[in-house]
Structure 1
Amino acid sequence: MRDALDRWLTQRRALDNAAEATVTAYRADLLGFLAFLVGHLGEGLGPAAMGRLSTSDMRAWMAHERARGVQARSLARQLSAVKGFVAWLADRDGFDATPVLTTRAPRFQRRLPRPLARDAARAMIDTVEVQSQTSWIGARDAAVVTVLYGCGLRISEALGLNGDASPLPDVLRITGKGGRERVVPVIGPARDAVAAYVALAPFEMTADEPLFRGTRGGRLNPRAIAKVMENARMQLGLPATATPHAMRHSFATHLLEAGGDLRAIQELLGHASLATTQGYTSVDTARLMEVYDNAHPLARRGKD
């Protein structure tokens, strides 16, 4: 079964362009599921045993996970991985996987992302820069946070940039989740912040080396940015939701509030689904009604 799991994960890498972190999470989820089945069924695992799984077996696994403290959101993710693997295995070995595939995921309330207010986003960038007594590190941290907010990048995408991205061009070509490629415009303040950091950094920015460096010259760890933002938000009195990812939320929300098109913002963020983009934006009812009144033909007819 471990060999089958390795083959399935290899296919996920090749066919879905799954990120390594996603593959690692799949592996951990499925190894946990298989380990539970060995103890629960009291027998070795093979296609025959997998084909005999029942709805009660699945419920027993889910109850076991909840008893371990796994939250509903995480359990739903685990179940998704289990269904994907078992469906592939059933297709390959010819057994009925209906009890597994029809198992319902636990319900959970989706947490809406919390963007920063416009003034708070700018204050975060300014405050991050003065957290370090080393000038180049302060400039580096400010440059990273500016790129997150100014370009809407994920922290992994920003820290994945190499020296050939300096000086920042007018547009960046970013490969995001699922191998989806997108073109992201780069605003002047982001270019200026990166240029200021590069001018102070004690490293040569070669094409194949990281753009954002740690103190020893290696690729900057995301935890370093999370930590400096944590210190900054405590000084500013901002909530714990003021994280690196919140800067990306703020990018989307502030564009939409300024009249940006939701579909265009979807492209800028690299979302496969428009529904995901809607979840990343925070727009009140008054703003929605304003757009509705100004755009809908029937609503406009009464004004013309």
Structure 2
Amino acid sequence: MDIAAADAWSGRYLAELATQRQLSPHTIAAYGRDLAELARLAGHADWARLTHADIRRFTARLHADGQNPTSIARKLSGWRGFFEWLSRQVTLSANPVEGVRAPRRPKRLPKALAVDDAVQLMEHHAHGHPDPAELCNRAMFELLYSSGLRVSELAGLDVRYVAAGAQAPASLGWLEADGGEVVVTGKGNKMRRVPVGGPARAALAAWLAVRPPARDGSQALFLSTRGTRISPRVVQQRLKLHAQKAGAPVHVHPHVLRHSFASHLLQSSGDLRAVQELLGHASIMSTQVYTSLDFQHLAAVYDKAHPRAKRKG
């Protein structure tokens, strides 16, 4: 297959994507650019004879040229689809892209608030006597930071208390009778108990004192303005608005409070296994990212305070 033939096959493939799959012109143009990239990398090579080794070499070249792993992964996906289609037009020994992976994406460190910023966020209250919605917000935000819950776990909590030794209710999670623990069902249907701190317990008590019955017949702990179980999206919106009013230095969403909980707890205790259990991580590898956050905090303190670390302006 010479260059002219490769161009012809590319044109046919893009035409079929447009007519049969009815992809948008923007998507078709993106596929076209990816195939043009393949043509550049392959040079005069016969596309029907490209091998896994060739595609791996092309991938390495893209990475060396500074393309990020996400872009490379998208190109590989486009090439894989093209060769799958081409195998139905001509004889190929195998799809040369099958099994070739993009370089690993660098692991992004989760964002976490500084301790002072987290405390300020929790202690910021609207002026005047709080209404039920404000009390609900306080309880939700305190519980997110106090116990490191996922927002889905928070929204799934019920007010059906379970006394010690009693049979658990058929729900995703609940608040224990004394308010000192929550029981949640996390990823993989793994259930765990998480302690609730003093400020969060006080906020929960204040909310439960005014919480109306749910209009949807549920036992949801946290309710929307319509009186139904609150959704994770609404929790996110309320927290964003609260953080803006509190003057938070960064955009705050529920996962930021979960990251802050883990980072601050690790800074204070150094107990990675305990943090793993409280977060509900199946693997310690998922929790170890917080050791990097902890080191960043220590490095910042060192750079600011140590006489030999101070840099001249």
TM-score, normalised with respect to structure 1: 0.58
Query: Is 1:195 matched up with 2:205?
Result: yes
What is the one-letter code of the residue matched to 1:272?
Answer: A
Picking from 111, 116, 119, the partner of 1:119 is 116
* Preserved CA contact (<8 Å) 2:239 2:254: yes
Q: Does residue 243 in structure 1 map to residue 240 in structure 2?
A: no
Return the index of the structure with the highest Cα Rg: 2
Q: After TM superposition, give the deviation of residue 99 of structure 1 in Å.
A: 5.8
Q: Is the 8 A contact 2:180 2:195 kept in 1?
A: yes
Aligned-partner Cα distance in 2 for 1:124–1:97: 57
Q: Residue in 2 aligned with 1:283?
A: 294
Partners of 1:168 and 1:194 within 8 A in 2? no
230 and 74 in structure 1: CA distance in 2 versus 1, 3 angstrom threshold: farther
Q: Secondary structure at the match of 1:200?
A: coil
Superposed displacement of residue 117, structure 1: 1.5
Deviation at 1:144, TM superposition (A): 0.6
Give the Cα–Cα distance (whole angstroms) in 1 for the partners of residues 252 and 297 of structure 2.
25
Q: TM-score, normalised by structure 2?
A: 0.57
Contact 1:205 1:211 in 2 (8 A): no
Q: CA deviation at 1:176?
A: 0.5
1:135 counterpart residue number: 131
Q: Distance in 2 between matches of 1:177 and 1:265?
A: 16
The amino acid across from 2:227 in the alignment is G
Amino acid at match of 2:143: V
1:159 alignment partner in structure 2: 155
3-state SS, counterpart of residue 101 of structure 2: coil
- Classify the secondary structure of the residue corresponding to 2:264: helix
Inter-partner Cα distance in structure 2 for 1:257 and 1:216: 40
Q: CA–CA distance in 2 between the matches of 1:211 and 1:245?
A: 20
Question: 2:205 corresponds to which letter in structure 1?
Answer: A
Query: How many residues align structurally?
Result: 218
2:187 equivalent to 1:177: yes
* Per-residue deviation, residues 33-69 of structure 1 (Å, max 9, x unmatched): xxx9x849x89xxxxxxxxxx969x99xx9xxxxxxx
- Following superposition, the deviation at residue 236 of structure 1 comes to 3.6
Q: Which amino acid aligns with 2:294?
A: V
Distance 1:169 1:76 in 2: 47
CA separation of 1:100 and 1:271: change in aligned 2, threshold 3 A: farther
Give unmatched runs, 5+ long, in structure 2. 1-13, 22-50, 60-67, 78-92, 161-173, 300-313
Match of 1:266 among 269, 276, 289: 276
Change (3 A) 1:240 1:55: farther
Bigger relative contact order (CA 8 A; separation at least 6): 1
| Fraction of identical pairs, as percent | 39
Separation in structure 2 between the aligned mates of residue 228 and residue 153 of structure 1, nearest angstrom: 16
Deviations 1:185-205 (A, max 9, x none): 222222221111111222269
Amino acid at match of 1:242: V
**Do the aligned partners of residues 159 and 137 (structure 1) sit closer, same or farther apart at CA in structure 2, a change above 3 Å counting?**
same
SS at match of 1:258: helix
Asked if 1:145 corresponds to 2:138, the answer is: no
Q: Does the residue aligned with 2:157 lie in a helix, a strand or coil?
A: coil
Between the aligned partners of 2:273 and 2:94, the Cα distance in structure 1 is 38
The answer to whether the 8 A contact 2:138-2:203 is kept is yes
Residues 144/205 of structure 1: CA separation in 2 closer, same or farther (3 Å cut): farther
Q: Which has the higher helix share?
A: 1
CA contact (8 A) 2:236 2:253 kept: yes
Larger displacement relative to structure 2 (229-238 or 215-224): 229-238
Q: Secondary structure at the match of 2:132?
A: helix
Whether the 8 Å contact between 1:170 and 1:187 is mirrored in structure 2 is yes
In the TM superposition, structure 1's runs of 4+ consecutive aligned residues that sit over 4 Å from their partners are: 71-77, 96-101, 131-134, 204-208, 285-288
2:220 to 187, 206, 210: 210
Pair 100,195 (structure 1): closer, same or farther in 2 beyond 3 Å: farther
Distance 1:209 1:112 in 2: 36
Contact kept in structure 1, 2:243 and 2:251, CA below 8 Å? no
